[in-house]
Amino acid sequence: MRGFVRWSSKWWPGVVPLVLFWAIAAWNDTTAVEADLTAKAAAAVKGIVLDKVKIAADGRDIDFAAEAFSEEGRHGALTAVAGAPGVRLVIDDTRLVPEAKPFVWSAQRDVAKITLSGNAPLPAVKGKLMDIARDQVKGIEISDQMGLARGAPVNFEDAAALLIGQIGKLKDGKVTISDSSVSLSGMARDLGGREAVAAALKNLPQGFSVAANDVKAPPYIFQANKDPVAVTLTLSGYVPDENVHAIILGSSSRKFFSEKVVDNLKTSVGAPPGFVNAVIPALGVLSRLSTGTLVMSDREVKISGDALYDAAAIQIRAGLTKDFPREWQVTADISVRPAAAPVDASVCQQLFSDLLSKTKIRFLTGRATLDSDSTGLLDHLVETALRCPNATIEIAGHTDSDGEDVANQSLSERRAQAVLDYFVKAGLPADRFTAIGYGSTKPVASNDTDDGKAQNRRIEFLVR
């Protein structure tokens, strides 16, 4: 043993080449060890959700910088790096992702580009929202300007996905989530897009509320053109549903008794409130014009054309404010058609008969109140009466045989008188007219059928 100790004191010369070996090994292997440990540390945190990960090795020590989305995630990442084989020390440069207050996310659409910006809670959510955007609007550039932050409201992902769905319905605009309130602005791509967006917003996840929905839609257009040469009434634009479509067509055919109604209407949602209540009086005005155009754009109504006589133009202008729903803007550019040449009494009679052969003056059932659908006809009758200023005219009222004779007599007289009153209001002298009621004494058809009765309920004009 003593010999071994003595010999061991002579081992020192080998230390010189050993140190040389060490120097060569250190020179040769340091960068390789660092690269290997960097890769191993990166692999260790691969499955952990982190942002801005930076891993650098200094010898066997790992300088680890990252932003974690929770304290548990941060600790887990540190433990994983420290546990990577070969790692000696971990220099902790990690921190939590900053918390956003308020948590704001937005998606903006310009015509050919969508930009997602603001905050997303996790990289996976960010990626998913980008995927949803790509699915929604194919062939459009999607730009990702989202950052990552903590503090997202519960169900953020669902709400953002729903809003990305809405941006596809916009031509341009912006949707924003700020904490749990949602706001939208912009222009809808299609008519009815605004309503579709509003309907979709009802499915927002619980806890979210709509702070502002300023999505605008293209104007809701309805047009009618009365062409006296082609004798047509052309309807175009949109109606909200088939029911309203039928109402408008029915009203048009009654009001425009001599014109053929050309129906080019399409059905679409997005009609302004009170649409029917505005269309019907607007068509009523148009029916009183010899030629004219009606254009409705959202709640703006523009009517232009020629009235048949001066008083009609005055009546039309006066009726604009009271006949239309409130909040509708009505402008009318009404001129008066030049008076037609005077004719003698027999021609006048023929003109009355021609007009009344196409349709007849309507009253409310059982009453002597003129139906508004007959205003156009009445204006034509007034215009005819104006053409024979020297003739006296008997306005004869008739009823069918239903009910008491006395009541029918009275009703026929009052109806004839109502027509006479209309003529007087139109500026015709009252002494040219006499209103006579015949009750049911002069039927022109059998009172046994509904059709016959309808023919018997009538107003006739006798020119003398």
Interface with other proteins (CB under 8 A): 3-4, 6-15, 17-19, 21-22, 25-26, 29-30, 33, 36, 58-61, 85-86, 88-89
CB of 81 to other proteins, least distance (A): 14
Q: Residue 90 or residue 463: which is nearer to other proteins going by CB? A: 90
Q: From start to end of 228-342, where are the E strands?
A: 232-239, 260-267, 289-297, 300-307, 329-336
Contact between 295 and 278 under an 8 Å Cβ cutoff? The reply is: no
Q: Residue 41 or residue 191: which is nearer to other proteins going by CB? A: 41
Phi, psi of 261, rounded to the nearest 5 degrees? -90, 120
Q: Residue 33 or residue 221: which is nearer to other proteins going by CB? A: 33
CB of 178 to other proteins, least distance (A): 46
Q: Residue 37 or residue 280: which is nearer to other proteins going by CB? A: 37
CB of 2 to other proteins, least distance (A): 12
Residue 107 exposure: Cα atoms within 13 Å on the Cβ side:
29
Beta bridge partners of 267: 239
Contact between 94 and 73 under an 8 Å Cβ cutoff? The reply is: no
Length of the chain in terms of residues written:
464
CB of 30 to other proteins, least distance (A): 6
Q: Residue 64 or residue 275: which is nearer to other proteins going by CB? A: 64
- 378 by DSSP, 3-state: which? helix
Q: Residue 34 or residue 51: which is nearer to other proteins going by CB? A: 34
- Mapping DSSP onto H, E and C, the string for 28-94 reads HHHHHHHHHHHHHHHHHCCCCCEEEEEEEEECCEEEEEEEECCHHHHHHHHHHHHCCCCCCEEEECC
CB of 38 to other proteins, least distance (A): 13
Q: From start to end of 343-423, where are the E strands?
A: 393-398
Q: Residue 60 or residue 317: which is nearer to other proteins going by CB? A: 60
CB of 17 to other proteins, least distance (A): 6
> Distance (Å, rounded) from C-alpha 150 to C-alpha 311?
73
CB of 40 to other proteins, least distance (A): 9
Residue 311 exposure: Cα atoms within 13 Å on the Cβ side:
14
